[in-house]
Amino acid sequence: FGKLPDGAEVDVYTLSNKNGVEAKITNYGATLTSIKAPDRNGKFDDVVLGYDSIAGYLDKNPHFGSIAGRYANRIANGEFKLGGKTYTLAKNNGPNHLHGGPNGFYKQLWTASDVSGKDGQAVAFKYLSKDGEENYPGNLNVTVTYTLTDKNELKIDYLATTDKETILNLTNHAYFNLAGAGSGDILKHQLKINATQFTPVDKTMIPTGKLENLAGTPMDFSKPTAIGERIDSKYDQLVMGGGYDHNYVLATGGSLTVQAVEAYDPSTGRVMETFTDQPGVQLYTANFLDGTITGKGGKTYPRRSAFCLETQHFPDSPNKPNFPTAVLKPGDKYQTTTIYKFSAR
């Protein structure tokens, strides 16, 4: 896949199933670079934004397909308290810390191994985040395993342990366009999100700590709704985010068999269902892409040309005692699964 500036080789791993579906993941950032899925006529397209080689990911990379960590999403003022101590983190998103900092997991070279088995072809990526890396406490051993099943599911399993109390929130930051990466905006895509509440944010995009009801607001996707239908509403949350960039409180009860999100592209018939045991999902509609990025196949990625569904603990949980805890203690295991399932209708 290319070389890093220090000369280290970067590899890309291809998973395929009996239906011709294919997923590619690189050991740089354990990054998902491609998913090829069929439309209603059986035509395959790559539905994940990214680059053809490592060079793009090293240059302009808005976290395309990467594993965000140690803490995905935002932490207010780049600090949190744990065990009576205050930890100060990099402020790499205005006044806040984002996605683990400027040298987070997405910029690290992971160690890959083939762990294919009865469920399908699979690759596991391991990384040791040392005590003090990006100023987070504890030596953290992380494994992220991608499995492609014959049910056209891309399953992502996260596993981590620590030798010191720390905070952890891992997600995959893939940008999806079910009409094909680089095929224009996703405003006609329809979403259905299994949630009745979301976590409203302040002007720096940090949750206020409240859970607000979605009903009657332009944030509500409880019924299938086109992403573009209300994205430009003069609703304070959408104005502040420049579109959707919000955490939805999932009503799935942590079950991997209850659908969290369904995305549907009417033009191709492609459907992507999301299943997760996480309490939240961040819907982000690529409001900050601006057409200056040239991605795979020389295609440009304009504003709102993708959507992200980042399964997660809530943003700023370490500073919000009423949110589900993101603390990991020695002797405990961080274990979570997200599944993206592809079909067409």
Active site residues: 173, 310
Strand partners, 197: 213, 249
The full DSSP string for 170-216 is -EE---B-TT-TTSS--TT-EEEE-EEEEE-B-TTS-B-S--EE-TT
CB 105 within 8 A of CB 70: yes
The two tokens of residue 296 are 């795979």
Are 24 and 33 spatial neighbours (Cβ–Cβ below 8 Å)? Answer: yes
Classified as helix, coil or strand, 262 is strand
Determine contact, residues 189/226, Cβ cutoff 8 Å: yes
Preceding omega of 70 cis (within 30 degrees of 0)? yes
Q: How far apart are CA 18 and CA 123, in angstroms?
A: 17
